[in-house]
A and B are shown apart, each in its own frame.
Chain A
Amino acid sequence: MIDLSPAQDRTAPQSDLATAMLAVRDLHAYYGESHILHGMTFDVRPGEVVTLLGRNGAGKTTTMRTIMGIVKKRMGSIAFEGQELINLRSDLIARAGLAYCPEERGIFSSLNVTENLLLPPVIKPGGLSVAEIYDLFPRLKERASSQGTKLSGGEQQMLAIARILRTGARFLLLDEPTEGLAPVIVQHIGRIIRDLKQRGFTILLVEQNFHFAATVADRHYVVEHGHVIDQFENSQIAANKTKLEAYLGV
């Protein structure tokens, strides 16, 4: 299924398959009859923070859901550390070492904070301990026995990120972690993401806010109509501000 012909491969990745931790090639996805992803192609190298930027409905969230196998109807190639994921069941994809924090946070209302935090099973060694997680997110310790959905939006976002750090997965997919949050919480999440990068996590981030993205990421892909239309190193962001604003319609 890997097709790297120039017509399909609109933005040839700079790195080759061997150095990428996650290599997505010509990824197509469908919700029922609607064709949502039209040949997404991008790479994430070990230790990088890479963002997918784009407007609402561009296909960023669908890309994440497709990588995780939540969107079942998919074609193309998703190689993670050399292992092909495209035909794997969702739980086996997670066990390959990817952890997903969804846009809507996915905090379970019938579970309290501790149960939510401990829910994702540990899949390999090397995850953060509960004590380390409480150091990063002290609020969660105070709210340990609250019902998950009684938390504020910011606390729910913290919990959604916190619970995927325990599992030993070294590749995190964070879908719009700053959406709808107060500036001070957005800054906190920015610090968390930089801290996680320091700790060696590799992160694929979906963002609409490129000002925030520029504070945490190494590289950016611009997504429109279900495929990558452009890419930038973070250092090039300032030089390409007008272009980016046009892409994102801000």
Chain B
Amino acid sequence: MFELLGVAPQALFAQLIVGLSNGAFYALLSLGLAVIFGMLNVINFAHGAQYMMGAFVAWMLLTYAGLPFWAALVIVPIVVGAFGLLIEKLLLSRLYQLDHLYGLLLTFGLALIIEGVFRHQYGVSGLPYANPLPGYLPLGFMNLPYYRGFAILFSLIVCLATWYTIEKTKLGAYLRAATERPDLVQAMGINVPRMLSLTYAFGVALAGLAGVLAAPIYSVTPLMGSSLIIVVFAVVVIGGMGSILGSILTGFGLGLVEGLTKVFYPPASNTVVFVIMVIVLLLRPQGLFGTPK
């Protein structure tokens, strides 16, 4: 079969794994965006910068404090999430009464500032981050790099846990209800402003977590976020703004599609996501998993 397609199975599966692990990052990042947009109605343009911060904090922990990747996996989301909390409390919370556009402008400005600070400090060339899980698992038809396998699995678990929390638990019921009618939920005795702060912090923490996971795969640079976030926004548009499950499935799915495109028609691999976005917008403007407004 592979001979018929003119592709070596090794190359095909290798690209599938690369595609899936890219998809893992798309999913984690678009999930954070979906959670934030669903609750706060804010399009968090700083998401890419917060992802980059995650990678940098992991690198700093390793370089300055000697803390290994596994410690960073726990510490970084907390640090980056706390940074998100600060932004929400000081800035974002003042914009909820206004049009979407103001939140977008604020977070876009923040992204530029954060990136600028890191560029000033570290330049644009990549900083290396050692792979914590070197080696690969020989499967015969392909070699599965341990770390990529771990990144895919870990991201999948985090995504599903987030989905479960939002769709199946009491806390999630508060979140879903507050998405629909924040005034009413607050009049039931729930501290909605605090819930908004924590939701933003959580979404940002997811971006930070994606950053740590990315550090050993991509090189750590101040621009790593802005190059990725454009694709992630396309993923969000394809999946449907605010849909939790949609963002997870679309993230992994588009990663795979990208990987396959690299095998069969490499020149299109960087644009395929945007082509799909155009088609989805034409046929189903609310996105694959979105509900029409």
User: Which of A's residues lie within 8 Å of B, judged by CB?
Assistant: 68-70, 89-91, 93-95, 99-100, 102, 106, 108-111, 115, 118-121, 123, 164, 167
Contacts and interface: CB of A to CB of B under 8 A. Distances in A.
A95 B188 CA distance: 8
Given A70-B183, A106-B184, A91 B177 contact: no
B105 interface: no
A119 B174 contact: yes
B186 interface: yes
A118 B177 CA distance: 12
Contacts of B180: 108-110
B190 A111 contact: no
Given A115-B173, A120-B189, A121-B190, A90 B183 contact: yes
A104 B45 CA distance: 35
B80 to A, nearest CB: 28
Given A111-B173, A115-B173, A121 B188 contact: yes
A237 B170 CA distance: 46
Interface of B: 170, 173-174, 176-177, 179-181, 183-192
Interface of B: prevailing SS: helix
- A-B pairs with the 6 shortest C-beta distances? A94-B189, A120-B188, A110-B176, A90-B186, A108-B177, A68-B187
Contacts of B181: 106, 108
Nearest to B185: A119
A234 B187 CA distance: 30
A121 B186 CA distance: 11
Given A69-B187, A70-B183, A100-B187, A91 B176 contact: no
B198 to A, nearest CB: 15
Nearest to B183: A70
B179 A118 contact: no
B187 A119 contact: no
A58 B181 CA distance: 24
B169 to A, nearest CB: 10
Nearest to B188: A120
Contact of B184 (A102, A109, A121, A123): A102
A164 B186 CA distance: 13
Contacts of B188: 91, 94, 99-100, 119-121, 164, 167
A106 B189 CA distance: 15
A68 B176 CA distance: 21
A192 B160 CA distance: 42
Contacts of A99: 188
B176 A108 contact: yes
Contact of A118 (B170, B184, B191): B170
A164 B188 CA distance: 8
Task: Give the residue among B174, B179, B186 with the most A Cβ atoms within 10 A.
Answer: B186
Task: Give the residue among A68, A91, A100 with the most B Cβ atoms within 10 A.
Answer: A91
Given A70-B183, A118-B170, A110 B190 contact: no
Contact of B176 (A89, A111, A164): A111
Nearest to B191: A91
Contact of A123 (B170, B174, B187, B189): B189
